[in-house]
Amino acid sequence: MVDQAALDAVASPRRRRILRLVWEDELAAGDVAARFEDVSWPAVSQHLKVLKEAGLVIERREGRHRFYRANRSSMGPLAAMLERMWSDDLDRLAALAEEEAGIAEDTQDAAGA
């Protein structure tokens, strides 16, 4: 099922990054928050709440920790879409790296000439 809440949740780049962090295995809220330089802990907590209410992550409480993991089975076509987006990102990064390598070569060539 892909409902409005899930789509809204996934439309946010920040939440997609969070989702990717808890995609493979679960992570404590604090560990998720620690991965972001540019945003506060509460902001991350709020995003996790949105993701949870959209059914995209599952929360497990243990002591004073709360662990989150992606609820991939519930996401239907969204899961495929996200993985596709992330692999596209990697492709772009790789292309960029090659391009830069090309520029480096050119620079060398120019210096060599």
Q: Which residues bind a copy of itself (CB under 8 A)?
A: 1-2, 4, 7-8, 10-11, 13, 76-78, 80-81, 84-85, 88
Size of the site for DNA (CB under 7 A): 29
Taking the least distance from each CB to a copy of itself, the nearer of 33 and 75 is 75
Of 7, 43, 85, 94, the one binding DNA by CB under 7 A: 43
Nearest approach, Cβ of 76 to a copy of itself (angstroms)? 7
Coil, strand or helix at 102: helix
* Partner whose binding site includes residue 66, from DNA, a copy of itself, none (CB under 5 to 8 Å by kind): DNA
DSSP letter, residue 36: -
Q: Which of the residues 58 through 87 are near DNA (CB under 7 A)?
A: 59, 61, 63-67
Widest Cα–Cα separation across the chain: 66
Closest to 66 in 3D by CA, of 74, 57, 55, 53: 57
Question: Could you tell me the two tokens for 47?
Answer: 């995003």
Closest to 26 in 3D by CA, of 55, 54, 78, 65: 65
Nearest approach, Cβ of 77 to DNA (angstroms)? 21
Angle at 90 between CA 1 and CA 37, to 5 degrees: 85
